[in-house]
Amino acid sequence: MAMKKILKWVSLLLAAGLFSCNTPEPLPQEDDDDENKDLIENYTVEAVVSITYRGSVTVENPLEGQGVLIVTDGNNVVCTSTTDKLVEFRLSGDNNDASFTLYSDKRYVLTLNGIKMKSAGRPAINLQSSKRCYLVIADNTDNYLADSGTYDTDKDTNESHTDLKGVLFSEGQLVVSGNGVLKIDANNANGHAIATDEYLRMRSGNIQIGKSSKQALHIKDYWLMEGGTLTADMVNDGAKITKGYIHITGGTVNMTVNDDGILTSYGDDVANDTDPDINTDITIDGGDITIFSMKTKSSGYGIRSTGNLYLNQGTLNLTVYSAATALVADYEGCSVYRNGAQINIVSSTD
């Protein structure tokens, strides 16, 4: 259905009351211990477990009987790692009905080395470990993950009694590096493309999310974007952090969304979200961010926080239905600080 749009440029410098304070509050700081442990280059991989998906699954496991147990059911692979060694699990191959599930007592490396995998009725990659995952998108590789069918993502009600929240789901921290390409399509109406119950740190890599009926990124703790490229097209929300903050220092973010672009949502549910110490700020210290919300009413936000917005450096290009929904902070008082970021807003009205 054709819709007539009138596009107008809005100067944020003239937006009355949008920037009401001159002195910013302290910015979010990542934990120094997390910072050190997130750097994969500080560690040495002690064993490589290779799993290749073709017509059937081929497994090379040098730690068989030594702390890494691998069970296959058709093309569905379940790994249980109890070793103290730093193990790299390397996935490659091409299969339209396969999955990878990992239980690990220690942090581990997961390398996507040219894997093209579609799962039926479950996540393609399901990391049931609360430990840190070094997710490496191998240089010069193209990787693809997708799911199919509708399945229950809630561990309290599904048959497996495990969280199945995304095509790529992790119970623990996800630290992304490498210079390859990862494409994801989320087809489950109840699921996300990438979900973690901890934090997501993107150091490098090219992640392209082509479809998600919910969020492209669904993160519990915080999202730190330092480098690489994140593209999300035709998703409901771009990135939603449910109990933490967003800090973007570099890289490129390009999102076309049906509703909100990037948001921190803790505090939305007043009855349950009552911890005043939860940091829900969004801080932009660099990078190139482009968000286009296709929602044709005043509830499709570009950037929304239940904390403060700090716009220090970088470039923001936001296209929304109403200029008032481009940058939104839900708390009263001094909540939006512009200290140098280049911001362009296009508002569209019927």
Domain membership flag for residue 283:
yes
Q: Is residue 334 part of a domain?
A: yes
- Each of the 350 residues of the chain gets a pLDDT tens digit; together they read 333 333 333 333 323 234 444 445 555 656 666 778 999 999 999 999 999 999 889 999 999 999 999 999 999 999 999 999 999 999 999 999 999 999 999 999 999 999 999 998 889 999 999 999 999 999 999 999 999 877 656 666 666 666 668 999 999 999 999 999 999 999 887 889 999 999 999 999 999 999 887 899 999 999 999 999 999 998 999 999 999 999 999 999 999 999 999 999 987 776 677 788 899 999 999 999 999 998 877 678 999 999 999 999 999 999 999 888 999 987 665 588 989 999 999 987 64
Residue 252 lies in a domain: yes
Q: Residue 89 sits in which domain range?
A: 6-349
What is the distance, to the nearest Å, from the Cα of residue 181 to the centroid of all Cα atoms in its chain? Answer: 15
Split into its structural domains, the chain has a count of: 1
Q: What is the pLDDT of residue 32?
A: 61
Alpha-carbon distance of 189 to 140, in angstroms, equals 32
Residue 212's pLDDT is 82
pTM value > 0.95 = no
Tell me whether residue 1 is in a domain: no
